[in-house]
Amino acid sequence: MLLEKLCNLSSVSGNEKEVRDFIYKEIEHYVDEIKIDFLGNLIAVKKGKESFPSIMLSAHMDEVGMMVKAIDENGFIKFLPVGGMDDRIFVSKVVEIGKKKIKGVIGAKAIHLQEPEERKSALKHKQLYIDIGAKSKEEAEKLISIGDYIHFDSKYIEFGNHLIKAKALDDRAGCAMIMELLKQEFNSTIYAVFSVQEEVGLRGAGVAAYEVNPHMALVLEATTCYDVTDIDEPDFATRLGKGPALSLVDSSSYFDKNMIQNLLHITKSHGIKVQFKQTTKGGNDAGRIHLTREGIPTAAISLPCRYLHSPISVIHKDDFENTLKLVSLFLNSLKKEDDYE
């Protein structure tokens, strides 16, 4: 499965090459042009008819992770988070470091050695370290270097009632959907953008949008899902298995109302379950895209995802398939440019 292959690759923000190379090989026979810009975005063009509006489909290749900060005299590694993560997820996780993918585990002072005050709150990442089994700094330095990227070692698995667990579902799910869409034929020219550095400030998509300058843009993302215990229902944000999520506004974007109305019409006429994201927290590449040049009409379709920004993110297969179906129908619904005047 394409999604499984993507999730099992590593591409921490700023180091997206592994995923980019894979996507390039998978899509090159389905597109008319393909390029990599100076920032590292992969931009593919599938040409349509000149009389139809062009559209940019965007998903980011990068994932949250870590970077080697220092190596102490005993060979233990101190690290920095790359992207927004809760410090509570780090303890006891298995990781891989650098190009050689050196195995390690994130450790902490044993609980029976902690002071009473230390036990009252979660350990910060500054209090943690990675153990690669080295006996000294010199031994560790033969395997890793300062600045090496670190990713979680968490494999894709399917479990329960059509659920998928993997790291980097944010946003390899979006990448997988665009890759599948490129196998189809549409009237509009498709600019497929696989962006970099979304997790550290939405950096890549704005550059790509300026380059391709489309008539409109659609961002395919993963978003928070809190439908678990001890959370009040209005704060669920989204619900697993209830369909793709649309947003009217978030912390970085007001989404185009005409695009949202078109998407809603399609869901009703084709019986596709859809939900609105119930919070305005968070943002995605739309925040940069819609402000590019004179402004680009932009919408986002998000895949509900439990335990976002962790090595055990969870999505529902039905949500993935319904999102893919909705985007395909939306692309087929685009009318000639004259109809938008």
Residues in the chain: 341
Q: What is the sign, positive or negative, of the torsion defined by CA atoms of 58, 59, 60, 61?
A: negative
Q: Which residues are catalytically annotated?
A: 198
End-to-end CA distance of the chain: 42
What does the alpha-carbon distance between residue 20 and residue 336 come to, in Å, rounded to a whole number? 33
What does the alpha-carbon distance between residue 190 and residue 173 come to, in Å, rounded to a whole number? 18
What does the alpha-carbon distance between residue 335 and residue 246 come to, in Å, rounded to a whole number? 22
What does the alpha-carbon distance between residue 53 and residue 335 come to, in Å, rounded to a whole number? 8
What does the alpha-carbon distance between residue 337 and residue 340 come to, in Å, rounded to a whole number? 6
The token pair at 58 is 């965007």
Which residues share a beta bridge with 318?
none
Under DSSP, the state recorded for 146 is T
The SS3 call for residue 297 is: coil
Tokens 């996507």 found at: 23
DSSP 239-260: -TTS--EE-SB-SS-B--HHHH
Residue 3 sits at φ, ψ, to 5 deg, of -60, -40
Residue 236 sits at φ, ψ, to 5 deg, of -60, -25
